[in-house]
Amino acid sequence: MSNCQSCPSNGNCSRQNNNQQNTCGVVNNPKNRVKHIIGIMSGKGGVGKSTVTAILAVELKRRGFKVGIMDADITGPSIPRLFGINNQRATGDGTYIYPVKTSEGIDVMSMNLLMPQETQPVLWRGPMIGGAVQQFWTDVVWGELDFLLVDMPPGTGDVALTVMQSIPVTGLVMVSTPQSMVSMIVAKAVNMADKMGIKVLGVVENMTYITCPDCGKRIDIYGKNASQEAANKVGVKLLGELPMDKDLMELSDEGRVEKFEAFREEFKNISDSILGSINV
């Protein structure tokens, strides 16, 4: 049973609205002081959720915050590769597990940091995967963090539910592309968050345009104002829109996402919006 009094998220818990604050069900690790937990969620896979998580973490870190990333995408973890720490392994002392630090000092925990080889699949059914996510919260020594970003698995399935039920998430950031089919699926995720009493901080529309390498002209892949229209459709704030960027793809593949600078302005605005919404 959780101890809400000692929980750093007390008062910010997803259950605060329905008088169930004492039924969180997860023992809080006394070694952890995590101020804000932001879940990064997407309706469907491959829209750039892990990429946005990584760049947001870098931006917050550079602002002087202590930042961690929990890679809750247990069966498809990609955070270690983005930061080039995929050949490192998390350590443990029999009671607790210790995250791996990126070169800029972001603490990361991911299933791939616990597997003997990153190519080994996790052949578990839902409840075991949910159990792993809970352990990432209870057994990992995050220490003092201003922000823990949770890279959620895509969709509104079992594990997303476990994250929302067992981790005191401060708010959710949706990542999407402005297609109507995708918006419909994002709406499901937004409705899920709503039902769980978790605030949706807004949506980042990714891969929305390209910049012509010759003339610098912006080409809106999904049409003009598509991002704002998609955000309106699901009834959430548009935090920002990101172009397709070849360098980002390359640096991500090389495990050097921390060296990617081109979206600094966009992520400065996205972070300002998030910090404003949670009164930081």
Ligand X SMILES: Nc1ncnc2c1ncn2[C@@H]1O[C@H](COP(=O)(O)OP(=O)(O)OP(=O)(O)O)[C@@H](O)[C@H]1O
Q: Would you list which residues are annotated within the binding site?
A: 43-50
| 50 part of the interface to ligand X, by CB under 6 A | yes
> In terms of CB distance, is 82 or 90 closer to ligand X?
82
Q: Does 46 bind ligand X (CB under 6 A)?
A: yes
CA distance from start to end of the chain: 29
Q: Which CB, 7 or 148, lies closer to ligand X?
A: 148
- Min CB(35)–ligand X separation in Å: 25
Q: Give the single-character DSSP code of 163.
A: H
Alpha-carbon distance of 56 to 194, in angstroms, equals 23
Piece of the chain touching ligand X by CB under 6 A; list 28-36, 42-50, 59-67, 87-95: 42-50
Label the pairing between strands 100-101 and 107-110. antiparallel
Q: Closest separation between CB of residue 100 and ligand X, Å?
A: 19
User: Which residue in the set 11, 17, 27, 45 belongs to the binding site for ligand X (CB under 6 A)?
Assistant: 45
- Give yes or no for residue 220 binding ligand X (CB under 6 A): no
CB 72 within 8 A of CB 133: yes
Of residues 174 and 236, the one with the C-beta less far from ligand X: 174
Q: Least separation, in Å, of the C-beta of 154 and ligand X?
A: 4
42 binds ligand X (CB under 6 A): yes
206 part of the interface to ligand X, by CB under 6 A: yes
Which pair of structure tokens corresponds to residue 227?
């991002």
Closest alpha carbon to 267 in 236, 246, 250, 245: 245
Neighbouring-strand partners of residue 60: none
Shortest Å, Cβ 249 to ligand X: 4
Q: State the amino acid at position 272 in one-letter form.
A: D
In the complex with ligand X, the residue whose CB is nearer, 32 or 136, is 136
User: In the range 237-256, which residues lie near ligand X by CB under 6 A?
Assistant: 242, 244-245, 248-249, 252
Sites for ligand X among residues 89-128 (CB under 6 A) = none
Q: How many H helices and E strands in the chain?
A: 8, 12
Give the span between the Cα atoms of 48 and 176, in whole angstroms. 8
Which of positions 155-194 make contact with ligand X (CB under 6 A)? Answer: none
Query: Residue 179 pairs with which residues in a beta bridge?
Result: none
Q: How far is the CB of 79 from ligand X (least distance, A)?
A: 9
CB within 8 A of 63, min separation 6: which ones?
271
Considering the complex, state which of residue 48 and residue 99 has its C-beta at the smaller distance from ligand X.
48
- Shorter beta-carbon distance to ligand X: residue 4 or 41: 41
Binding residues for ATP: 43-50
Strand spans (E) along the chain: 33-42, 67-71, 91-92, 97-98, 100-101, 107-110, 144-151, 171-176, 199-205, 209-211, 218-220, 238-241
Q: How far apart are CA 28 and CA 38, in angstroms?
A: 17
Member of 51, 102, 177, 271 binding ligand X (CB under 6 A): 51
Binding residues for ligand X, per CB under 6 A? 42, 45-51, 73, 76, 78, 154, 206-207, 242, 244-245, 248-249, 252
